[in-house]
Amino acid sequence: MEKLWGGRFEKNTDSLMEDFNSSIGFDKKLCHFDIVGSKAHATMLAKSGIISDKECKEIVDALMEIECEIESGKVEFSTKNEDIHMNIEVLLTNKIGETGKKLHTARSRNDQVALDLKLYSRDAVINIQELLKQWIKTLIKVSEDNIDTVMPGYTHLQRAQPITLAHHLMAYAEMAKRDYLKLSSWLDIHDTNPLGSGALAGTTFEIDRQYTTELLGFSSPTLNSLDGVSDRDYAIDLLSNASVGMMHLSRLCEELILWSSQEFGFVEIDDAYSTGSSMMPQKKNPDAAELIRGKTGRVYGDLLSLLTTMKGIP
The residues carrying an active-site annotation are 156, 277
Residue 152, helix vs strand vs coil: strand
> CA triplet 160, 162, 163: central angle to 5 degrees?
120
Residue 94's CB: how many other CB atoms inside 10 A? 11
Q: Is 286:256 a contact under the CB 8 Å cutoff?
A: yes
- Phi first, then psi, for residue 241 (nearest 5°) are -65, -40
> For residue 177, how many other CB atoms are within 10 A of its CB?
14
Give φ, ψ of 67 to 5 degrees: -65, -40
Residues 82 and 21: beta-carbon distance below 8 Å: yes
Q: Which helix (H) or strand (E) holds 193?
A: strand 192-193
Paired with 212 in beta bridges are: none
Residues 213, 47: Cα–Cα separation, whole Å: 14
Strand partners, 192: 220
Q: How far is CA 98 from the centre of its chain?
A: 33
d(CA 75, CA 68): 10
Backbone angles phi, psi at 162, to 5 degrees: -75, 135
Asked whether 84 and 34 are in contact (CB, 8 A), the reply is yes
Phi, psi at 164, each rounded to 5°: -110, 155
Answer for the pair 49, 207: CB distance below 8 angstroms, yes or no. no
